[in-house]
Amino acid sequence: MSEWVLHVDLDQFIAAVEVARHPELRGRPVVVGGHGDPAGRAVVATASYEAREFGVHSGMPLRLAAKRCPEAVFLPSDPPAYQEVSDRVMARLREFPVVVEVLGWDEAFLGVDTAEPEAFAAGVRRGVAEATGLSCSVGVGDNKLRAKLATGFAKPAGVFRLTRANWWEVMAERPVDALWGIGRKTARKLEAEGWTTVLELAGADPAGLAARFGPRLGPWYRLLAGGIGDAEVTATPSAARSRSRETTFPADLTDGDAIAEQIGVLARRVAEDVAAEGRPAARVEVKVRFAPFHTHTHGLTLPEPTADAEAIGRAAREVLGRFELGRPVRLLGVRAVFPR
């Protein structure tokens, strides 16, 4: 028996949930986001594999997605439905003899003791499919970094192992943004310094990296390139940590009273979710996305945990007062956080 980290990632999760609800859409390009209006200002939450073939991807404006794939079916986002399916998936994963660390709706790390990690991963795939009808991919690794990256090679609907034994064979010549934790902007900065591949970054001088990117991030990038990372999987409670609601507006809000009114609407919806959860909220947070795309979040801890709608609404309005609202507002969100 050996200790392994498995990364389970549900394939095209949101699109898959929608296709399960609308079987007539199977095989068609499906795009989910906002209110489902391709003329709106929201962005793509997810796209089916058929839509991705046209260059549609998460975070893309819906208008651009419609231009790239005019045949696509556009659907509104339905977070409560996705949360319900996600909860069923995570509950199924907890039935295995593993430690489950939830990363989001559609992914989790599993800590597993097994002599046959690929066979175990195949069993996980079958279990998820039987419980939910959804497909998932599983990355097998000797730490979280390698397991997470392995899933990319496993997609769609497969299993792939990435460990110290095959790290350089698989990763050495890949660009630095192939690493989990290095985005496109950082990659451009690294490439400008001459570190264009994973192997080159792994051999970089730590002092040079620290001088360019700081004493913490610089050396950390070199560790990533070597495939070095945390191997401890920490159990995540099965209960949700928070409930949130947010809205992207078809036209920017500029009137302070209108913004406060929308915060009130969102706070009431969150309070309903909190009441349905049967647990009080300990903290209320407000998210404001200013045009064109600058997002800020503030929050406060409540005097005592509560599920009272008025108290949650008052807290949300108080937090809203901490923002400087001199710019057009594109999105508002309210989040209630449960006690630990």
Q: In angstroms, rounded to a whole number, what is the distance separating the alpha carbons of residues 7 and 121?
A: 9
Which residues have C-beta within 8 Å of that of residue 132, sequence separation ≥ 6?
A: 85, 88, 89, 92
Beta bridge partners of 244: 335
Q: HSE on the CB side for 192, CA within 13 Å? A: 8
Beta-strand runs (E) in the chain:
2-10, 30-32, 46-47, 73-75, 99-104, 107-114, 136-141, 159-162, 242-253, 281-290, 294-306, 329-337
CA angle 199, 174, 218 (to 5 degrees): 50
Note whether 28 and 73 are within 8 A (CB).
yes
User: Which among 71, 107, 118, 173 is annotated as catalytic?
Assistant: 107
Q: Is there a contact between 17 and 55 (Cβ–Cβ < 8 Å)?
A: no
Distance CA 1, CA 116 (A): 8
Three-state secondary-structure class, residue 123: helix
CA angle in degrees (0–180, nearest 5) for 335-300-237: 55
CA distance 191 to 200: 10
Is 107 an active-site residue?
Answer: yes
Which are the catalytic amino acids?
107
